[in-house]
Each structure stands twice: as C-alpha cells, then as structure tokens.
Amino acid sequence: MLRILRHDAEDDRVVLILQGRIVAEWAGLLESEGLELSRSGLRVSLDLSGVTFIGRPGLDVLGRLVRAGVEIVGCSALIGDMLEQEGIEAGRDIEETIDRQVPWKRGGETDA
C-alpha cells in the first residue's frame, strides 16, 4: 500500500509525501498524480523518506517522473542507492550527506 500526502510548500511548489511501498497499481497512481501536478505548472517534489520498498514498476515510474521534471528528496541510504543504480537522481537525507568523523579514527590513525 502507498499513502500519498500532499503538502503545498509554496504557491508554485507541492511536495507529495510518500509512505509505504511503491509497487504495481500504486506506481501508476503515483505517476498520474505527479504528472497531473507537473503539467499544471507546479514544481513537484516527492518525499520518499517514508518509503520502505520500491518494486520494478515503481522504479520505472520514478524514472519517468524525474525525466518530466519531478524532484525526488528525502531518500534513505538504501532507497537512494537503489535509485542511483537505476540512474535516477535523488536527494538523500541531510544527515547522510554530512561528512562525519568515524569514531575510531583520531587524527588520521586507526585502532587497527
């Protein structure tokens, strides 16, 4: 099941917050919603932070939506890697994009 919540972020921008699984018939619903909003002149972003699984139909739909100008944001590492392997550009969680110091490394040395 896929839940789609609409958030009107700005006058010309809408964010569709997705929760659940992007599979089969849900992928088609997502595509029609995304394309309809995009064709109406709105900038559309898909927030995938609540997505737990994407099947082949979902990957195909996300690829078409990105090519149509829809932005993907909020991906977990797993979902982001899956999309990247398919050649689909997507924004990741902010926490994962920040360079963090590895706890066991201090001053360039390792505990090994």
| Domain parsing of the chain, residue ranges | 2-97
Q: Which residue has the higher pLDDT, 110 or 1?
A: 1
The whole-angstrom separation of Cα 43 and Cα 15 is: 8
**Would you identify the CATH topology of the domain 2-97?**
Transcription Regulator spoIIAA (3.30.750)
pLDDT tens-digit profile of 63-110? 999 999 999 999 999 999 999 999 999 987 644 433 444 444 445 554
Phi, psi for 60 (deg, rounded to 5): -60, -45
Q: What is the mean pLDDT of residues 16-20?
A: 96
Distance from C-alpha of 62 to C-alpha of 12, rounded to nearest angstrom: 21
- Of 8, 83, 93, 77, the C-alpha closest to 43 is 8
Exposure on the CB side of residue 63, measured as CA atoms within 13 A:
13
